Amino acid sequence: MSANKATKLAVIGRGMIGSAAARHLSKMGHDVALIGPDEPADFSRHDGVFGSHYDEGRITRSYDPQPFWRQMNRAAISRYGEIAAESGVAFYREVGALYVGDSETTNVASVGKICAEDGILCEAYHDAGLAERFPFLRSTAGVQGYFQPRNAGYISPRRLVRAQTIAAERAGARIIDEPALGISESSAGVTIRTRSGSVEAERVLVAAGGHTQSLLGRSLGVTVYGRTVAMFRLGAAETQRLNGMPSMLCLGPKGDNPYILPPIAYPDGQIWLKLGGDPVDLPLESEADIKNWFRSGGSIEVADRLQTQILERIRDLHFEERRVVPCMTSFGDTGLPCIGPLSERVVVAFGCYGKSAKCSDELGRLGGMALLGEAKAELALMATSLP
């Protein structure tokens, strides 16, 4: 779509939350433009927007310690099938999610307690029982595990964005494959600048993740952090050995609480095991900081630490190559996302705490409702933490 065109509603940010908002708004019959670039082909030479959805594995599950996020998770997961049907793009694998922690030093028992109270199907395993059920684990002595077999596993963020974009376009949304360079608001509407021209809109939802505050030119009390994940390439024999492995969340103190994705096929045709849980808080205070971080390739020191952790948890792991990957996340003070109006015509939806991939469809829906001025009756009102 040409940028020089007026629209009723615009969504800035073609990531997981923005594309979801565009789908929901378009299905409701609204005139919507979804603005954002495709995934960069080469990070080292990329000059545009960077995102954190350029991978094939994010853990999804109903459970979360906080009721707000549990409700977001359930609502979004219940629509995975709908999104796949509307787009023709599969993005979810229900392999289950395993939570493990030392029985004495972690509060792993709270997982089972919350799941029982909230009606989340969860199987409990301990010591030898855990080893028998999940033989790939290196050590289970003194370890308690809780396994959620349904409505849990992993999603492909890049495939989810593709699915949401296709479904939004099929519902009538217009896709502008360009980054937004700036926005200006007047009594008549909002002007969004892109490289090829301007988009005029009556109202705008900014769902640009870590780029949101710099695009708006103001702080909303959210800090963007650079993060490093480590990827381990597996051969055919190791892939077969770990077949059936669920997504894993390891409970422990910061720096010793990694999350582990099972073997997943990536666009390069290889099978990779992904490990995250970077304990280093590296603030990215500007667009220049974000670009420099993604171009840096991430932290080798953090990757070394993550490698040690996965070798301590996966028995006899053999990998053929390690890859270090940078990403970013955003944190505020409330533990809840920022969803709500900044002005009469500009609304935001961002602030993920590393939790939004699995529930992005619901966060996008709530952002869309806020754009329509209908968020007061929504749970999102709890999450509005804008200064």
Q: Given this model, what pLDDT does residue 374 score?
A: 81
Q: Given this model, what pLDDT does residue 30 score?
A: 97
Residue 325 CA to residue 227 CA, distance in Å, equals 8
Residue 25 CA to residue 189 CA, distance in Å, equals 18
Q: Given this model, what pLDDT does residue 50 score?
A: 86
Q: Given this model, what pLDDT does residue 322 score?
A: 98
3-state secondary structure of 225: strand
228, 270, 287, 320 from 231: Cα distances, Å: 10, 11, 26, 11
The better pLDDT of the pair 42, 84 is held by: 84
Sheet holding 92-93, edge to edge: 58-60, 153-155, 92-93
Query: For residue 131, how far is the Cα from the chain centroid?
Result: 30
For residue 210, pLDDT over 60 is answered with yes
For residue 378, pLDDT over 50 is answered with no
- Work out the percent of the chain whose per-residue pLDDT is above 70: 95
- Phi, psi of 190, rounded to the nearest 5 degrees: -125, 135
What are the structure tokens assigned to 9, written together?
């509603």
Q: Please provide the average confidence, as pLDDT, over all residues in the chain.
A: 93
* pLDDT tens, position by position, 63-78: 999 999 999 999 999 9
Provide the pLDDT confidence category of residue 386 given band limits of 50, 70 and 90. Answer: low
Q: How many CA atoms lie within 13 A of 165 on its CB side?
A: 20
Give Cβ neighbours of residue 298 (< 8 Å, ≥ 6 apart): 226, 228, 229, 324, 325, 326
Q: Given this model, what pLDDT does residue 3 score?
A: 57
For residue 383, pLDDT over 50 is answered with no
Residue 25 CA to residue 27 CA, distance in Å, equals 5
For residue 266, pLDDT over 90 is answered with yes
Q: Given this model, what pLDDT does residue 5 score?
A: 63
Provide the pLDDT confidence category of residue 351 given band limits of 50, 70 and 90. Answer: confident
Residues in a beta bridge with 123: 147
* pLDDT tens, position by position, 87-131: 999 999 999 999 999 999 999 999 999 999 999 999 999 999 999
- Taken in order of first residue, the domains within the chain and their CATH numbers are 5-57+157-222+333-383 (3.50.50.60), 95-155+223-331 (3.30.9.10)
Q: Given this model, what pLDDT does residue 379 score?
A: 46
Q: Given this model, what pLDDT does residue 384 score?
A: 47
Residue 174 CA to residue 10 CA, distance in Å, equals 9
Provide the pLDDT confidence category of residue 49 given band limits of 50, 70 and 90. Answer: confident
Lowest mean pLDDT among 45-54, 103-112, 354-363: 45-54
Residue 237 CA to residue 252 CA, distance in Å, equals 31
Give Cβ neighbours of residue 21 (< 8 Å, ≥ 6 apart): 11, 205, 207, 349, 364, 365, 367, 368, 371
pTM greater than 0.85 (yes/no): yes
Angle, helices 157-170/80-87, rounded to nearest 10 degrees: 60
What are the structure tokens assigned to 28, written together?
């409701």
Give Cβ neighbours of residue 371 (< 8 Å, ≥ 6 apart): 9, 21, 25, 203, 204, 205, 347
In eight-state DSSP terms, residue 28 is T
- Phi, psi of 347, rounded to the nearest 5 degrees: -125, 150
Q: Given this model, what pLDDT does residue 375 score?
A: 63
Instruction: Find the Cα–Cα–Cα–Cα dihedral 146, 151, 153, 158, rounded to 10°.
Output: -150
Contact 273, 260 (CB under 8 A): yes
Residue 100 CA to residue 106 CA, distance in Å, equals 9
* pLDDT tens, position by position, 174-203: 999 999 999 999 999 999 999 999 999 999
Residue 152 CA to residue 74 CA, distance in Å, equals 10
